[in-house]
Homo-oligomer: A and B are copies of this chain.
């Protein structure tokens, strides 16, 4: 296949379906897209690159890669409490639409990308296709009512520290893919790694209630440190409160990994894309009321600690109220 850039855009990226109230005044096909921001809202923007050999393996399922390339970006919007609206996709491909000798690679990639885009009514408004080493850069845009975005730098002393759903599963999935570990239910963990669920609905519910928020990409402790440094406080974390999945606990019970290893995956593994936020006790009650009124499922929340005055270590770990030590090292894509 030797598709030109315009053929590629026509074949794979232009879509006949339209999203109601999308705010797209002009979509793909001109020099720029034109977008309408509703009055009283701010624009939230985030850009992330995924590079073959760094963030994914060349033989990754292209559907899952397309899905995840968008998911990690939507997760950034979720962490701001923004409603996702639009996305641009720049993709560099080594050989036309084919990767790893798979002629269906690009159609599978876009199928995964659009499956998630459609779920959140996100419209592809532009992009660029180039020949070169395989990499993907996604730039998402969302809207949030002025003044209600969730930032990192507003955590207050004595706030509860909360996390959504389970943590550590994605990092365990990566270890399985790297053949560092064998477990009884590998697919569950690989799915957690590759079919990340961006917590968009939860992020919107946190508006006006959470004092700070971040999504966990580099590992719980690393991302918590971002909040703590920006907010000038420290944290106590209760190890027994870390939300490990049932499947993770089962692997521990079966002896596939020990409890400390499971905790270490949860603390520093990364690739969770759960929301980590701080909130006052009062506001947590209000949040629980909001959640109870939702018709769509909202992930469970766990209180894992509390912000404190600055101390010698930014994060102090406790296990049944006894001080314990864990590594806080995170994953740096650049090293």
Contact = CB atoms under 8 A, between A and B. Distances in A.
Interface of A: 2-6, 8, 25-26, 29-37, 39, 42-49, 51-55, 76-77, 79-80, 82, 86, 88-90, 92, 96, 125-133, 135, 137, 139, 141-142, 144, 146, 149, 151-153, 213-215, 230, 332-335
B30 A34 contact: no
B77 A45 contact: no
B35 A43 contact: yes
Contacts of A4: 332, 334-335
A30 B82 contact: no
Contact of A137 (B133, B137, B215, B230): B137
Copies of the chain in the assembly: 2
B92 A49 contact: yes
Contacts of A135: 92, 130, 132-133, 135
B49 A334 contact: no
A90 B49 contact: yes
A8 B333 CA distance: 12
A130 B55 contact: yes
Given A32-B77, A335-B4, A90 B48 contact: yes
A132 B53 contact: yes
